[in-house]
Chains A and B, each alone.
Chain A
Amino acid sequence: MVRPDRARRRVPVIELGVPGAEIPAHLRCLAIVPALNEAGAVGDVVRAILAAGQGRVDVLVVDDGSTDGTAAAARAAGARVVSLPFNVGIGNAVQTGYRVARAEGYDVAMQVDGDGQHPPGQMGLLIAEVAAGANYVVGSRFMRDAGYETSRTRRGAMVFLAWLVSAAVGQTVTDTTSGFRAADRATIELFAGHYPPDYPEVEALVLAHRAGLRIAEVPVLMLQRSTGTSSITPLRSAYYMVKVSLAVIVQRIGTAPRPEEPE
């Protein structure tokens, strides 16, 4: 997933045969689901998260200016919905979720894509890692060979990003572009104040590291996007690589983020 294009992916929600860990009962969890024109998929995603959450996970769909009834579909499926008045980009949309999590004192915030690519049944694996003391947990597709296949170019790009981020944060990170993540209260606090506005996944790792947070990865199985629905072009991919690499370097050498402007 070199350039996640959330508007065009259509993947059915199917639970893969991996037992997810129990979700710890003492933690209040909020699943943040960013969605842009996903009216056809978001309802299933919401229902799958609620089912997998065993009544311990609230679902917040952040509707990033959809025009296709995404908000109504998500609400009908049982999610709370925050509807942004216009498209603000994936990073700002996800940050809205972190702001809600901070305002309402959630212990864990999960990020789950609204297109069904992330298996909600494996949320427990990430949340268990948070319960074990990690601040920011990434569900990695590459920690064990699960047959996640992609083109050689994209694979090369992902290896490069993994190398760059691993060097920047001083620990091995295998999957820097995975958007399936869990954040504890310290990370929620950080991201509510500062979160990269576009292409956030890679940069957020370095941001968390700079804030002194402990990053962990757990292996997950993810569904592959079916071919033919991608709108990735070589030019966009190149822009993505340059932008993200630059962001990692700037994040690494830049000054610490300034305190949030008063609201």
Chain B
Amino acid sequence: MTNRLVIVGVVIAAALVITLVSLIRARRLNERYALLWLIAAALVIIFGLWPAALDALASAFGIAYPPSALFLLVGITLGLVLLDTAIVISKLVARAAALAQHMAMTEERVRALEERLGPDQTYSSAAPPEPGSGPSPS
């Protein structure tokens, strides 16, 4: 029974690690955001290979029923992962808005400059340039 439990734990942990590593290798997951998940995988491996650690942890925390300690640990880990995600999203939303503002302001300046230049000299009408007639716009 215990051996089967160890096998199940190791298989789940291995699947998690393989998934994480392949995501990182494919550059679909930044290492920074994979860190918490890797810690979670490490916890699964530890308790999968060595279920006695769970009993030790439970008694250290004064938890009478060891599986409760596991739920606590899982809850804390998932909570941290979600909190980290929320922080990252907050930063990204602020940056997206700042980028949009910056782009809109720049676009307005370009429009004003083009109007000052006159209809024949806008950037788009200047391209493509005649060979050797001036610096390339790119």
A interface residue numbers (CB < 8 A to B): 62, 80-86, 88-89, 92, 95-96, 99-100, 103, 197, 261, 263
Contact = CB atoms under 8 A, between A and B. Distances in A.
Chain A interface SS verdict (over half): mixed
Nearest to A197: B97
Contact of A84 (B94, B101, B112): B101
Contacts of A81: 108
B27 interface: no
Q: How large is the interface on B (under 10, 10 to 19, 20 to 34, 35 or more residues)?
A: 10 to 19
Interface string B94-138: 111110111111011000100000000000000000000000000
Given A81-B108, A197-B94, A263 B100 contact: no
Given A96-B105, A100-B105, A84 B98 contact: no
A85 B94 contact: no
Given A82-B105, A88-B100, A99-B105, 16 more contacts: A80-B112, A82-B108, A83-B104, A83-B108, A84-B100, A84-B101, A85-B100, A86-B100, A88-B96, A88-B101, A92-B100, A96-B104, A100-B105, A100-B108, A197-B97, A261-B98
A82 B104 contact: yes
Contacts of B95: 261
Interface of B: 94-98, 100-105, 107-108, 112
Nearest to B96: A88
Given A83-B104, A84-B104, A263 B98 contact: yes
Nearest to A92: B97
Contacts of B105: 82, 96, 99-100, 103
Contacts of A88: 96-97, 100-101
A83 B101 CA distance: 9
Tell me which of B95, B96, B97 has the highest count of chain A C-beta atoms within 10 A of its own C-beta.
B97
